[in-house]
Amino acid sequence: MSSQTDLPSHVRAIVDEIESEIGERDLPIDDITGSRSETSNDGHARPGDGRVEAAVREILLEIGEDPDRQGLERTPERVHRMYTELTAGYHVDPERLINGAIFDVAYSEMVIVKDIPFYSLCEHHLLPFFGTAAVAYIPRGRVIGLSKIPRIVEMYARRLQVQERLTQQIAEFLQERLAPQGVGVVMEATHLCAAMRGVRKPGTIMTTSSVLGLFRTRDRTRSEFLDHLARSAPRA
**Annotated catalytic residue, options 163, 169, 181, 224:** 163
The question of whether 191 is a catalytic residue gets the answer yes
- The whole-number pLDDT of residue 226 equals 95
Global pTM reads 0.82
* pLDDT at 21 > cutoff 60: no
- The whole-number pLDDT of residue 33 equals 47
Query: What proportions of the chain, in percent to the nearest 5, are helix, strand and coil?
Result: 45, 20, 35
**Cα(156)–Cα(150) distance, integer angstroms:** 10
**Annotated catalytic residue, options 65, 168, 175, 193:** 193
Q: What is the pLDDT of residues 44-62, one digit of tens each?
A: 444 557 999 999 999 999 9
Cβ–Cβ under 8 Å, residues 79 and 126:
no
- The whole-number pLDDT of residue 198 equals 83
Cβ–Cβ under 8 Å, residues 101 and 151:
no
- The whole-number pLDDT of residue 199 equals 80
The question of whether 193 is a catalytic residue gets the answer yes
The question of whether 21 is a catalytic residue gets the answer no
**6 versus 89: which is more confidently predicted?**
89
- pLDDT band, residue 27 (cuts 50/70/90): low
**Annotated catalytic residue, options 4, 124, 164, 176:** 124
**Annotated catalytic residue, options 17, 24, 73, 123:** 123
The question of whether 38 is a catalytic residue gets the answer no
Residues contacting residue 133 through CB under 8 Å, at least 6 positions apart = 114, 116, 118, 153, 170, 185, 186, 187
- The whole-number pLDDT of residue 41 equals 47
The question of whether 122 is a catalytic residue gets the answer yes
* Residue of 65, 29, 64, 21 lying closest to 45 (CA atoms): 29
**Annotated catalytic residue, options 53, 80, 181, 191:** 191
- The whole-number pLDDT of residue 191 equals 96
- The whole-number pLDDT of residue 40 equals 44
**Annotated catalytic residue, options 77, 125, 172, 228:** 125
**Cα(173)–Cα(176) distance, integer angstroms:** 5
Cβ–Cβ under 8 Å, residues 112 and 80:
no
Cα 3 to Cα 6, 8, 11, 36, 206, distances in angstroms: 6, 11, 12, 33, 47
Q: In CATH terms, is domain 100-230 a member of 3.30.1130.10? A: yes
**Annotated catalytic residue, options 122, 161, 181, 224:** 122
The question of whether 95 is a catalytic residue gets the answer no
Could you say which DSSP state residue 137 is in?
A: E
Residue-range domain boundaries for the chain: 4-86, 100-230
- Segment 205-212 shows an average pLDDT of 97
The question of whether 175 is a catalytic residue gets the answer no
